[in-house]
Amino acid sequence: MTAAMSPRQRVRVALGRGTPDRVPIDYDANPGIHERLKRHFGVAPDDEEGLLRALCVDFRKLGAPFMGPRVHADIPERGVKVDDWGVHTRYIRHGSGGYWDCCDFPLQDADEAAVAAWPMPDPDRFDYEAVRKHCRARGEYGLCLLCYGDLINGNGFLRGMEQTLVDLLTDEPAGLLLADRRFRIQEEVARRTLRAAEGRIDVLWLGEDLGTQRSPMISMDVFRKHFRPRYQRLVDLGKEFGCLVMIHTCGSSSWAYDEFADMGVDAVDTLQPEAVDMSPAYLKRRFGGRLAFHGCISTAGPVAFGTVDDVVEDCRTTLEVMKPGGGYCFAPTHALQDNSPTENVLAMYRTALDLGGY
């Protein structure tokens, strides 16, 4: 039996492809589940830390908050919220809750001049002192800085998905300028955040959507031309500050994992098992010696649609495949959706604790 570790040690060992005392646990959920779990554990509505402790979560996510002033204004007469990058969203209700969905796509028809003039957050206006305070308060946990990059989605939220993909295929200057502006600002904010943390951030967490459920969204040529150089700068930034680097990739995305490993990426996140070439067995066999894994527990599988016994069996079989040799962190493939019964979510995390030890 491996000696007991702190959450931080556990995260660093697992993402470094080693064997910790138990599999590290992570959590992400939509607001409906979040509220239900707090009620179950008797945690106050505003006590985020209390819920994470109740679930024995080893990770803590942080970032420097933007201090304003607002870069873009909401459009209340249309029920549209606009974030500081200018992304427009409106609330869409569904049977078990709702979500904020993108709309309008204000840069869809923009040329280079319009993209160059589009207001974006100023790196000088982020509260880096808050990062120091967060690191001191959560020092025993694996601290993760989210710096997604997110070329497809980030550009797509402003230009629309179709135009974004056309931009990448045709080397459209306006779309590429938008990507470069967004990446440069994120890189600078991340650099200042890492500097403020004084070596205390463990994971630089990047993100990109590269696949549908059945196939890649882009070609390898497009990946190497437009994605790899931009993400390499972020990977190198993380290494400069002693971070492990993890990248979120939705859908059938293992076609890019050899590239990530060559770039110096340590771990891949999401790992939707229902997508092509994304099953735990395939990932472990194909990449287990080169990458660590974070995810694999499907938010569209037994947790949402099965019984408690189905959830336990799914988590058990995933752990049996992913645990040997280390290098695995137990987590949902995305935010747990509001249609997941509370008892299923509780069974998921209970199984991780019951069967995750080495």
Which whole-number Å values give the CA distances from 276 to 24, 221, 270, in the listed order? 26, 20, 14
Tell me the three state secondary structure of residue 290: coil
List phi, psi (to 5°) of 179.
Answer: -60, -45
- The per-residue pLDDT for range 260-305, each reduced to its tens digit, is 999 999 999 999 999 999 999 999 999 999 999 999 999 999 999 9
- The per-residue pLDDT for range 135-164, each reduced to its tens digit, is 999 999 999 999 999 999 999 999 999 999
- The per-residue pLDDT for range 81-138, each reduced to its tens digit, is 999 999 999 999 988 888 899 999 999 999 999 999 999 999 999 999 999 999 999 9
Tell me the three state secondary structure of residue 191: helix
Q: CA 48, CA 6: separation in Å to the nearest integer? A: 20
List phi, psi (to 5°) of 324.
Answer: -55, 130
Q: Percent of the chain at pLDDT above 70?
A: 100
To the question of pTM greater than 0.95 for the whole model, the response is: yes
Identify the pLDDT of residue 320.
98
- 1 has pLDDT over 80: no
Identify the pLDDT of residue 247.
98
- The per-residue pLDDT for range 167-201, each reduced to its tens digit, is 999 999 999 999 999 999 999 999 999 999 999 99
Identify the pLDDT of residue 326.
97
Q: Which of 246, 286, 251 is nearest to 263 (CA)?
A: 246
Q: CA 238, CA 236: separation in Å to the nearest integer? A: 5
Q: CA 102, CA 158: separation in Å to the nearest integer? A: 9
List phi, psi (to 5°) of 199.
Answer: 85, 5
The CB density around residue 175, as the number of other CB atoms within 10 Å, is 26
Q: Give kind and range of the element (H or E) at residue 15.
A: helix 7-15
CATH number attached to the domain at 7-69+106-355: 3.20.20.210
Strand order in the sheet with 97-103: 80-82, 88-94, 97-103
CB-based contacts of 238, cutoff 8 Å, min separation 6:
194, 204, 244, 245
Is there a contact between 220 and 243 (Cβ–Cβ < 8 Å)?
Answer: no
Identify the pLDDT of residue 104.
97
- 2 has pLDDT over 80: no
